[in-house]
Structure 1
Amino acid sequence: MGAAPGPGATGGGFGRLLVTVYGILAFAATGRSAYQVATKLDEAPAAYLLSLLAAAVYVVATIALARGGRGRWRAVAWCAVLVEAVGVVVVGVLSVVVPELFVEATVWSAFGQGYGYVPLVLPFIGLWWLWHTRPGQHAPVTAPDEPTEAR
Structure 2
Amino acid sequence: MTEPSRTRRMTGVGMVLVFVYGILALAATGRSTVQILRDFDEAPLAYSLSAVAAVVYILATLALMFAKSRVWYRIAWVSVVFELVGVVVVGTLSIAAPELFQHATVWSLYGSGYFWVPLVLPFFGIWWLVVHHGPSRVPAEQAVPVEQTR
Using structure 2 for the length normalisation, give the TM-score. 0.84
Q: CA deviation at 1:54?
A: 0.4
Root-mean-square deviation (Å) = 1.5
Distance 2:50 2:106 in 1: 5
CA contact (8 A) 1:70 1:135 kept: no
Distance 2:6 2:49 in 1: 39
Segments of 4+ moved more than 2 angstroms: none
Task: Tell me what 1:3 maps to.
Answer: 6
CA contact (8 A) 1:44 1:104 kept: yes
Gaps in structure 2 of 5+ consecutive residues:
138-150
The one-letter amino acid of 1:4's match is T
Q: Per-residue CA shift, 1:22-78, capped at 9, x if unaligned?
A: 000000010010111111100100000000000100000000001111410000000
Q: CA deviation at 1:12?
A: 3.3
**1:54-73 correspondence to structure 2 within 5 Å:** 54-73=53-72
Distance 2:49 2:11 in 1: 31
Higher relative contact order (CA 8 A, sep 6+): 1
Task: Tell me what 1:112 maps to.
Answer: 111
Distance 2:42 2:99 in 1: 13
Distance 2:11 2:100 in 1: 40
Number of aligned positions between the proteins: 132
Identity of matched residues, %: 54
- Secondary structure, in 3 states, of the residue corresponding to 1:80? helix
Task: Tell me what 2:135 maps to.
Answer: 135
Distance 1:65 1:123 in 2: 11
Task: Tell me what 1:146 maps to.
Answer: none
Q: CA deviation at 1:103?
A: 1.3
Q: Report the structure, 1 or 2, having the larger helix content.
A: 2
Structure with max Cα Rg: 1
The one-letter amino acid of 2:14's match is G
Distance 1:70 1:136 in 2: 12
Task: Tell me what 1:19 maps to.
Answer: 18
Distance 2:127 2:95 in 1: 26
Gaps in structure 1 of 5+ consecutive residues:
138-151
Distance 2:86 2:30 in 1: 19
Distance 2:6 2:20 in 1: 23
The one-letter amino acid of 1:16's match is M
Q: Per-residue CA shift, 1:84-118, capped at 9, x if unaligned?
A: 00000011111011111101000000000000000
**1:36-75 correspondence to structure 2 within 5 Å:** 36-75=35-74
